[in-house]
Homo-oligomer: A and B are copies of this chain.
């Protein structure tokens, strides 16, 4: 399992769906066929996951916040805790991966190691952990802080946290469990190891109190945009979520990330680009769907949200003028680097007014939006994939489940005809879907020695 595979394997396109409650567009809950209560309805999440599995997608993905960080008077928010919700989803599916977000700033490593290992056990090897450091003030204030921890500190803690979680996942050797009824030997304790981790932030004795999980490690994912974030991804992530508006930016990001990973002796970190799709059977129909959705987002909401992304007072934004010239990242290096830069780049590239910028982002905060027919969307995906701008996509359909239904029925068959997407699952674990090897249990021990 630790062998380096040298035979040439054709690159495979990877597709996740981000189940952003009612969908990416803030007004998605207002569509005629939408269930407005979807954001807290387990049946909604299960149904979306089942459609994704029908389409043979790699995984469902759940974002997370431990605070209200959007304007709930206008739209749904990330509410249900991901690991619990993903266990519900895993119980109703058989193959699709289940990736959840959890913060390294407001959790304990032992608890996170256990929860994701448990999710890996109950899903038979389909779990993934998306590592985030949590940059918003409302979250900080729910955990005894008056301010967001400094950017550098958050990333130092995250690096130590993630390393420690991996070490805990490796604290049981793969064959430590014996279960010999006749001999009365349950576990070979010589194969269960204390970790004795003493770091700057954490002091954890270990071992974990459960056997190594089916994947060895649940898959580790991250979404680093800043230099610190990219470094964390290069050291620890097996796949990253990116938010690039252009092919060139995404290709450059992918090259940079792989160069950073290579410096740590690591290869093949998958770049999954964020992609919102608004699909119509004709381009005109897609544009109409987009416009209908956008027209139901109050401008007051969109302006506040854009101001939040840019870290400025909302009064500085004028709908029919360009963005202010003097935008800089919020002090202390906080705020979301990725969305800050992606949003400004999008406005400057096209010379957009604030109103045009908001329309082009479909009410979002920086992810790329394509509006078109299944054929047009498949063309775009193929171009990015074959051109090396991405290894796959973290899909954020405009509205759920309808936007994913259209993707699975319309776009996926075209990608299959072109030979770049699977017709059947070849394996049963998320690692197998993503083409990742199962880590040897001694990997993290060797590194520390």
Q: Are B74 and A143 in contact (CB under 8 A)?
A: no
- A449: chain B residues within 8 A (beta carbon): none
Cβ contacts A135-152/B at 8 Å (1 or 0 each): 000100111100000000
Cross-chain contact of A66 among B27, B72, B110 (Cβ < 8 A): B110
Known contacts: A42-B122, A66-B111. The answer to whether A138 contacts B92 by CB under 8 A is no
A128 touches B (CB below 8 Å): no
CB distance from A400 to the nearest CB of B (A): 15
Confirm or deny: A442 has a beta carbon within 8 angstroms of a beta carbon on chain B.
no
CB neighbours (8 Å) of A259 from chain B are: none
Judge whether B29 and A179 touch: CB under 8 Å: yes
Partner of A122, one of B84, B177, B185, B202: B84
B72, B188, B205: the one within 8 Å of A138 (CB): B205
List B contacts of A74 (CB < 8 A). 184-186
Contact present for A88 and B144 (CB under 8 Å): no
Contact assessment for B143 and A79 in the assembled complex, using a CB-CB cutoff below 8 Å: no
Taking a contact as CB atoms closer than 8 A, the residue among B66, B179, B188, B205 that contacts A141 in the complex is B205
Chain A 52-66: CB-based contact to B (< 8 A → 1; otherwise 0):
000000000000011
A298 to B111, CA, bound (A): 32
Nearest neighbor of A206 in chain B, beta-carbon distance: B142
Known: A30-B181, A179-B36, A181-B29. A85 touches B85 (CB 8 A): no
- In the complex, A206 Cα to B184 Cα: how many Å? 50
Interface size for A (C-beta < 8 A) is 69
**A187 touching B108 in the complex, CB below 8 Å, given contacts A40-B210, A79-B210:** no
A189 at the interface (CB under 8 A from B): yes
Interface centre among A83, A138, A142 (most CB of B within 10 A): A142
Q: How far is the CB of A203 from chain B (nearest CB, A)?
A: 4
- How many angstroms from the CA of A232 to the CA of B30 in the assembled complex? 45
Q: Is A424 an interface residue (CB 8 A)?
A: no
Residues of B within 8 A of A121 (CB): 40, 42, 80
* Nearest neighbor of A30 in chain B, beta-carbon distance: B181
A149 to chain B, nearest CB (A): 15
Q: Which residues of B contact A219 (CB under 8 A)?
A: none
Determine whether A436 belongs to the interface, using a CB cutoff of 8 Å to chain B.
Answer: no
For the complex, what is the distance from the CA of A40 to the CA of B123, rounded to whole Å? 11
A11 at the interface (CB under 8 A from B): no
- Please choose the segment from A112-120, A303-311, A387-395 that sits at the chain B interface, where 4 or more of its residues have CB less than 8 A away: A112-120
Residues of B contacting A287 with CB < 8 Å? none
The proximity string for A residues 282-316 relative to B, scoring 1 for CB distances below 8 Å and 0 otherwise, is 00000000000000101000000000000000000
Asked whether, in the complex, the Cβ of A192 is within 8 Å of the Cβ of B296, the reply is no
Q: Is the CB of A36 within 8 A of B181?
A: yes
How many angstroms between the C-alpha atoms of A141 and B197 in the bound complex? 10
Chain B residue at minimum C-beta to C-beta distance from A122: B42
Once bound together, how far apart are the Cα atoms of A181 and B30, in whole Å?
5
- Tell me which residues across on chain B come within 8 A of A192, comparing CB atoms: 68, 72
Choice from B84, B118, B143 contacting A80 with Cβ under 8 Å: B118
What's the least CB distance linking A31 to chain B, in Å? 8
Q: Does A50 contact B (CB under 8 A)?
A: no
With a cutoff of 8 Å between Cβ atoms, the chain B residues found around residue A266 in the complex are: none
Does any Cβ of B come within 8 Å of A432's Cβ? Answer: no
**Cα distance, A189 to B106, chains bound together (Å):** 26
Q: Given A179-B37, A189-B72, A108 and B106 touching (CB < 8 A)?
A: yes
Bound-complex Cα distance A182 to B211 (A): 52
Question: Is B107's CB under 8 angstroms from A111's CB?
Answer: yes
- Contacts A107-B111, A192-B72, A205-B141; A91 near B81 (Cβ below 8 A): no
- Which residue in B87, B138, B204, B298 is a CB contact (below 8 Å) of A91? B87
Of residues 153 through 189 on chain A, the ones whose CB sits less than 8 Å from some CB of chain B are: 177, 179-181, 184-189
Instruction: List the B side residues contacting A207 at CB < 8 Å.
Output: 68
Neighbour of A204 across the interface among B87, B143, B189, B203, CB < 8 A: B143
Q: List 9 A-B contacts (CB under 8 A).
A: A37-B177, A66-B111, A66-B114, A72-B189, A73-B186, A74-B186, A79-B210, A85-B122, A88-B91
Closest 6 CB pairs of A and B: A36-B179, A91-B91, A79-B210, A87-B87, A141-B205, A81-B118
